[in-house]
Structure 1
Amino acid sequence: MGAAEKKVYHAKTQLIPASMELKGVTKEFIKPSGEVHTVLRNIDLKISKGEFVSIVGPTGCGKSTTLSLIAGFEPPSQGEVLISGEKLEGINPRAACVFQTENAFPWKTVIDNVSLGLRLRGTNKGEAYKEARKWIARVGLTGFESHYPSQLSGGMRKRVALAQSLIVQPEILLMDESFSALDVHTRHLMENELLRIWEETSASVFFITHDLEEAIALSDRVIVLTAGPGATIKGDYQIDLPRPRNVAEISFDPAFMKIHKQIWEDLKDEVMISYENARSLK
């Protein structure tokens, strides 16, 4: 099998039990005019336990909507979302989310923010703090336990967000453009940090990004969505690059460049369609 061989949704991890699955999912919204707007149409997607999957596509194609369906923030209009084989009804209790925007409470210290998830689940303060210190150390913030978010850099706040999400040991980690606001050097540090922690856990990751290089560097698979409305899955690529990876260096690998070229052939056409659709609406 070539490093960049295109899959028709037969990932080699398919024999591993599915962590999350979308079966025939369509998502529609009603516009203020009363017109039905179809964001996603007939999506079939299976992500295995422990798999790192990124989703890319042009602006407005429904990447964030897909994440919202897996998180349980929105129900599908048609089809169903399965989590560990069970139909999802309401908020997904097995998932944690890391978004582009800050999710730390500005009036709470690092240790209070990180321990909050455990406290909300009934863990006493002493035990929650003990576990929070472990996660603060794992993301490289030892010594900053008493700092407030405003006293931290952007990269450090992202480390807090990771610790916040991972301390509850989620089976599924949902990430929506989580590092896009960071400078390139901090971004690479955080991407490597994410990979290091992910490799120590069994979490399945669903990662949204506009950056194709980031998607390839991080992932086991990259999913390409078509331009909306009514986006569907256009490509499903296995990323057969060795791990562990350094995201700042893996892009120099000839196999990386071959994969990038093939996926970009799929993606660029959809970007142009999206661009032309946007122009026609002006």
Structure 2
Amino acid sequence: MNVHGRHYEKAAFARVLREAREGTGAALVLWGDPGIGKTALLEHAAATATGFTTLACRGTRTAAPLAFAGLHTLLRPVADRIDALPAPQAAALRAALGRGGECPDRFLIGVATLTLLSELATEQPLLITVDDAQWLDEPTAACLAFVARRVPGEPIALFLAVGHAAPAPGGPGDGGTVLEIGGLDDTAAEAVVRDAAPDADDETVRRALRAAHGNPLALSELPDVDAGPLGVGSGLRRAAVARVERLAAATRTLLLVAAAEDRGDRHAVRAAAAALGVTEHAWQDALRSGLLHAEGDRVGFRAPLVRTVVYDHAPPA
């Protein structure tokens, strides 16, 4: 996948990879709105990591309740190396990965994982990429946090994408450098549109740039040029809907009021929301979610396309 723009992020990746080659690795943690390009950046890092062994895993909501599911995916390509570890470490890691034995000690699993990764990295530098780390099962997240705090002394680069919220202390990339991934500039954004829709006319491209605010997924999912106002692509819609559905009912009501009041008048939104029973707690929940922001007398959505999703997804009642 061609990653347009992102010069700062690419330079950060190149620096971490260079330092890992020299034996001093680091962890880099990416966060930002749905569709903003975190996955594409991880893929770019893997594609440019010449001479590295690469291991990867991705958190999913379905696997989140399953202990060590993420670690199983990450270490599966090198599972044959486990038996070469010191016996207690090998036993603990085999048990964690469902290969027999009693319920393992988590500290020993962390040590075993670090030992295994360190041994791999002595042969050639190691790149680990973790996408959607916010959905990792808790034991895997804890194990990766253990590893992340120790890669500075190893030829290991650890890149993680953690979703829409800034990573909390103690997460899988704990101690790493945190990068917020924002929208593309107009030049890179136009390149994304041209890649996705080579035949789009200039007016369609301009409308896409205005609507998407630099979000690569939205830019790449242009509707038919005759379909009227630009809508939200299916991938971005699914991601935004999932975020909204996790919120409490009163918070979703507040978001809908804010989406319906298109002037961004905070007083009008407050009055209408209060008439529908929305409390201060819902306001704070909406602001914490990162979907809504308020400043002075103004209120609005952090990503304008999310406003469309909130409004369109609301039930008729």
The normalised TM-score by structure 1 is: 0.45
The normalised TM-score by structure 2 is: 0.41
**Relative contact order (C-alpha < 8 Å, sep 6+): which is higher?**
1
More strand by percentage:
1
Query: Which structure has the greater CA radius of gyration?
Result: 2
More helix by percentage:
2
